[in-house]
Amino acid sequence: MERKITKTVIIGGVKVGGGESVKIQSMCTCKTSDTVRCSAQINALANAGCDIVRVSVLDEDDAAAIKILKASCSVPLVADIHFSHKLAVAAIESGCDKVRINPGNIGGENQIKIVADCIKAHKIPVRVGANTGSLEKSFADRYGKSAQALVESAMQNVRIFEKNGVGDIVVAVKSSNVQLTYEAYTRLSQICGYPLHIGVTEAGTRQNAIVKSGAALGALLLNGIGDTLRISITGDPVEEVYAAKQLLRAVGLDKNFAEVISCPTCGRCRWNVMSLAAKVNERVKDVKKPLKIAVMGCVVNGPGEAEDCDLGIAGSKEYCVLFRKGEIIKRVSAENAEEEFFKELNGILNE
Amino acid sequence: MERKITKTVIIGGVKVGGGESVKIQSMCTCKTSDTVRCSAQINALANAGCDIVRVSVLDEDDAAAIKILKASCSVPLVADIHFSHKLAVAAIESGCDKVRINPGNIGGENQIKIVADCIKAHKIPVRVGANTGSLEKSFADRYGKSAQALVESAMQNVRIFEKNGVGDIVVAVKSSNVQLTYEAYTRLSQICGYPLHIGVTEAGTRQNAIVKSGAALGALLLNGIGDTLRISITGDPVEEVYAAKQLLRAVGLDKNFAEVISCPTCGRCRWNVMSLAAKVNERVKDVKKPLKIAVMGCVVNGPGEAEDCDLGIAGSKEYCVLFRKGEIIKRVSAENAEEEFFKELNGILNE
3-class DSSP string for A245-278: HHHHHHCCCCCCCEEEEECCCCCCCCCCHHHHHH
- Which of the residues A1, A265, A283 would you substitute to probe the B interface, choosing the one with the greatest number of B C-beta atoms within 10 Å? A265
Residue B4, in any domain of the structure:
no
Residue type, B194: Y
Residue B79, in any domain of the structure:
yes
Residues facing A9 on adjacent strands: A16
Query: Which ranges of A108-224 would DSSP assign to H, the alpha helix?
Result: 109-121, 137-143, 147-163, 178-191, 206-222
Looking at the complex, does the CB of residue B308 fall below 8 Å from at least one CB of chain A? yes
Question: Do B245 and B118 belong to one domain?
Answer: yes
- Which of the residues A257, A266, A308 would you substitute to probe the B interface, choosing the one with the greatest number of B C-beta atoms within 10 Å? A266
With an 8 Å Cβ cutoff, are A202 and B30 in contact? Answer: no
Parallel, antiparallel, or unpaired for β A319-324 and A327-333? Answer: antiparallel
Minimal CA–CA distance to B122: which of B66, B51, B50?
A: B66
Question: Do B219 and B280 belong to one domain?
Answer: no
DSSP letters, B12-46, are TTEEESTTPPPEEEEE--S-TT-HHHHHHHHHHHH
Residue type, B219: A
Shortest Cα distance, chain A CAs vs residue B326, angstroms: 11
Contacts of B59 (CB under 8 A, 6+ apart): B33, B87
| Segment-wise mean pLDDT, segments of 10 residues, chain A, 351 residues | 94 98 96 97 97 96 98 97 95 98 85 96 96 87 94 96 97 96 98 98 90 98 98 94 97 95 76 85 91 84 75 82 88 88 93 83
DSSP state of A105: G
For residue A237, CA distances in Å to A156, B233, B250 come to: 31, 25, 21
With an 8 Å Cβ cutoff, are A223 and B219 in contact? Answer: yes
Give the span between the Cα atoms of A85 and A281, in whole angstroms. 48
Question: Do A165 and A301 belong to one domain?
Answer: no
Question: Do A154 and A287 belong to one domain?
Answer: no
Parallel, antiparallel, or unpaired for β A14-16 and A9-11? Answer: antiparallel
* Chain A neighbors of B223, CB-CB under 8 A: 219
A210 closest CB neighbour out of B203, B207, B260: B207
How confident is the model at residue A81, as a pLDDT?
A: 94
DSSP state of A196: B
Question: Do B162 and B285 belong to one domain?
Answer: no
Residue A4, in any domain of the structure:
no
Phi and psi for B278 in degrees, rounded to 5? -65, -45
Residue type, A13: G
Residue B278, H or E segment:
helix B273-284
Residue A127, in any domain of the structure:
yes
Domain end (from B234, B250, B266): B250
Residue A243, in any domain of the structure:
yes
Residue B246, in any domain of the structure:
yes
Residue of chain A whose Cα is closest to the Cα of B56: A267
Question: Do A74 and A196 belong to one domain?
Answer: yes
Residue type, A95: G
How confident is the model at residue A351, as a pLDDT?
A: 83
> Please, are residues B218 and B250 in contact by the beta-carbon 8 Å criterion?
yes
Question: Do A328 and A216 belong to one domain?
Answer: no
Predicted ipTM of the assembly = 0.93
Tell me how crowded residue B284 is: count the other CB atoms within 10 A of its CB. 17
DSSP letters, A201-227, are TTB-SHHHHHHHHHHHHHHHHHTT--S
Minimal CA–CA distance to A85: which of A29, A126, A55?
A: A126
Q: Which residues of chain B have pLDDT under 70?
A: 269-270, 301-303, 305-306, 317
Looking at the complex, does the CB of residue A182 fall below 8 Å from at least one CB of chain B? yes
List all residues of chain A from 186 to 245 with a beta carbon under 8 Å from chain B.
201-205, 207-208, 210-219, 221-223, 232-235, 237, 240, 243
Residue A276, in any domain of the structure:
yes
Question: Do B221 and B291 belong to one domain?
Answer: no
Q: Kindly report the CATH number assigned to the domain that includes residue B280.
A: 3.30.413.10
- Which of the residues A37, A217, A234 would you substitute to probe the B interface, choosing the one with the greatest number of B C-beta atoms within 10 Å? A234
Contacts of B336 (CB under 8 A, 6+ apart): none
A305 closest CB neighbour out of B176, B300, B304: B176
Q: Kindly report the CATH number assigned to the domain that includes residue B110.
A: 3.20.20.20
How confident is the model at residue B317, as a pLDDT?
A: 67
Residues facing B169 on adjacent strands: B126
Environment class of residue B21 by beta-carbon count within 10 Å: exposed (0-12), middle (13-18) or buried (19+)?
middle
Question: Do B287 and B202 belong to one domain?
Answer: no
A1 closest CB neighbour out of B179, B251, B273: B179
DSSP state of A237: H
Shortest Cα distance, chain B CAs vs residue A168, angstroms: 25
Looking at the complex, does the CB of residue A347 fall below 8 Å from at least one CB of chain B? no
> Please, are residues B154 and B128 in contact by the beta-carbon 8 Å criterion?
yes
Residue A1, in any domain of the structure:
no
Give the span between the Cα atoms of A23 and A15, in whole angstroms. 8
With an 8 Å Cβ cutoff, are B304 and A240 in contact? Answer: no
Parallel, antiparallel, or unpaired for β A228-229 and B14-16? Answer: unpaired
Domain end (from B250, B268, B300): B250
Give the span between the Cα atoms of B104 and B303, in whole angstroms. 59
Domain count, chain A: 2
> Please, are residues B87 and B22 in contact by the beta-carbon 8 Å criterion?
no
Looking at the complex, does the CB of residue A269 fall below 8 Å from at least one CB of chain B? yes
> Please, are residues B309 and B329 in contact by the beta-carbon 8 Å criterion?
no
Question: Do A271 and A220 belong to one domain?
Answer: no
- SS3 at position A350: coil
With an 8 Å Cβ cutoff, are A281 and B208 in contact? Answer: yes
A273 closest CB neighbour out of B207, B216, B234: B234
The model scores a pTM over 0.90: yes
Contacts of A117 (CB under 8 A, 6+ apart): A164
- Which of the residues B30, B34, B241, B266 would you substitute to probe the A interface, choosing the one with the greatest number of A C-beta atoms within 10 Å? B266
Residue type, B252: G
Minimal CA–CA distance to B79: which of B55, B59, B58, B61?
A: B55
How confident is the model at residue B296, as a pLDDT?
A: 86
Span B62-110, pLDDT tens digits: 999 999 999 999 999 999 998 899 999 999 999 999 999 988 888 888 9
With an 8 Å Cβ cutoff, are B232 and A264 in contact? Answer: yes
Minimal CA–CA distance to B297: which of B330, B331, B271?
A: B271
Domain end (from A190, A222, A250): A250
Give the span between the Cα atoms of A26 and A257, in whole angstroms. 21
A267 closest CB neighbour out of B31, B207, B261: B31
Question: Do A100 and A41 belong to one domain?
Answer: yes
* Chain A neighbors of B235, CB-CB under 8 A: 264, 274
DSSP letters, A46-82, are HHHT-SEEEEEE-SHHHHHHHHHHHHH--S-EEEEE-
Question: Do B274 and B216 belong to one domain?
Answer: no
How many residues does the structure list for chain A?
351
Looking at the complex, does the CB of residue B336 fall below 8 Å from at least one CB of chain A? no
Give the span between the Cα atoms of A199 and A189, in whole angstroms. 14
* Chain B neighbors of A295, CB-CB under 8 A: 234
Residue A198's domain comprises 9-250
